[in-house]
Amino acid sequence: MTMLSLTLKSMRNRRFTLGLTLLSVAISVMLLLGVERLQSQLKQSFTQTISGTDIIVGPRTSQVNLLLYTVFGIGEPTNSLSLAAWQHIKSMPGVSWTVPLSFGDSHQGYRVVGTNQEYFARRLYANKQALIFQQGKPFEDEHQVVLGAQVANALGYQLGQQLVLSHGVSKVSFSKHGNHPLSVAGILAPTGTPIDQRIFVPLAALDEMHAPMRDPHNPLNHDDISALYLGVEAPQDVLRILRAINEFDAEPMTALLPLMTMQQVWRLMDSVQLGLLLLAAIVVASTLLTLLTNMLTSLSQRQREMAVLRALGAAPRHIFSLLLAESLLVGVLGIVLGLAALYGLQYAGAPYLQAVSGLRLSPDWPQPQEITLLAMVLGCAMLVSLVPAWRAYRMTVHDGMQMRG
């Protein structure tokens, strides 16, 4: 009888206890890899959300806040940029292009971005991939609108269909721009970024909508804009233009470098990520202790089994190897089940996460850092099994036979 078949027969006799242990190992592996995969893929998705934009400009605020509401649609602007400031920035030496952004409206919970046609040529993502129209084309006048892929899919909109925007960004709005319906001119292809959840309209359309309801005391006047995307002519111009905008005396503004501010966001999240990873590691450690406890408990109940094996000619090293093989099988099966559960959750949860945040998580093959974590879990499982294996190694036929009495 081979060591593998002997191990499987022994495990079958204790299938209920080992099944619970296997389940706990699978859950701990799923949690550990889930935390690692979530933080790595979210970081990658965030980084790929915007590309090809050298500087983002907005009214005076923190750089993190400006990045969040201009790129990810998190939060709202508290002030606006004047058209004079926009014209001043456009005329700066070294500025190649600017794309205006205006926020503050929505449609059935999806945020509206007021901009111009240049947005669709300049707004890149994921290593400078350009936006592609799945259907239609960019808007051509103030009566047309372009939809992100998820908006069109969720609401079932087609080209030529009319829609009415609402004032504000909440799902429920009592102020609708019913006097200015818009026709769908184009639908963007999916990008896996928050762009999929946006509705794009010309600035002129927003200006027409808000003309009857404009409040002269409201700082978010739609003669102004909320922010700018900016591109430079040469890389050496970036820091000079950045400094000039931040030090502009006529109007307080904030200019940021997208990738550097992304790093700042992740530094703020480091403590949260570390806490989640430590929590997952504690769960794995408690599972390994449970494995050790179960093996030690079952060892006292298996003294007769060990004694019979010794009487049949099994050497101490065979019994030592038997327990190590059991631990190895539990570890490997737990890892396989944990991975299967993780992939199942990713397939089930990815559409929901994309619907909520616009970010896409892909169930990829395990990455090198994940394989390292799995190897560490398996190695620790083998390590804790050395204690009961060593105790079994020291058993004698006499120790086992005494159990008959």
- pLDDT computed for residue 305 by the predictor: 65
Q: Which amino acid, residue 26?
A: A
Q: Which amino acid, residue 289?
A: L
Instruction: Return the top range by mean pLDDT from 152-166, 216-230, 381-395.
Output: 152-166
Answer yes or no: is pLDDT of 403 > 50.
no
- Tally of CA atoms within 13 A in the half-sphere of 203 that contains its CB: 18
- pLDDT computed for residue 219 by the predictor: 42
Contacts of residue 193, defined as CB under 8 A and 6 or more positions apart, other chains included, come to: 45, 48, 49, 50, 125, 126, 358, 359, 360
With CA atoms as reference, report the closest residue to 257 among 122, 87, 67.
Answer: 67
Answer yes or no: is pLDDT of 240 > 90.
yes
Name which of 66-80, 181-195, 281-295, 344-358 the model is least confident about: 344-358
Q: Contact 147/201 with Cβ under 8 angstroms? A: no
Q: Which amino acid, residue 160?
A: G
Q: What is the mean pLDDT of residues 245-270?
A: 90
> Rounded to whole angstroms, how far apart are CA atoms 201 and 302?
74
With CA atoms as reference, report the closest residue to 229 among 47, 58, 46.
Answer: 58
> Rounded to whole angstroms, how far apart are CA atoms 63 and 80?
15
Domains of the chain by residue range: 3-46+270-404, 50-264
> Rounded to whole angstroms, how far apart are CA atoms 209 and 143?
11
- Higher pLDDT: 345 or 198? It is 198
Going by pLDDT thresholds of 50, 70 and 90, the confidence category of residue 312 is low
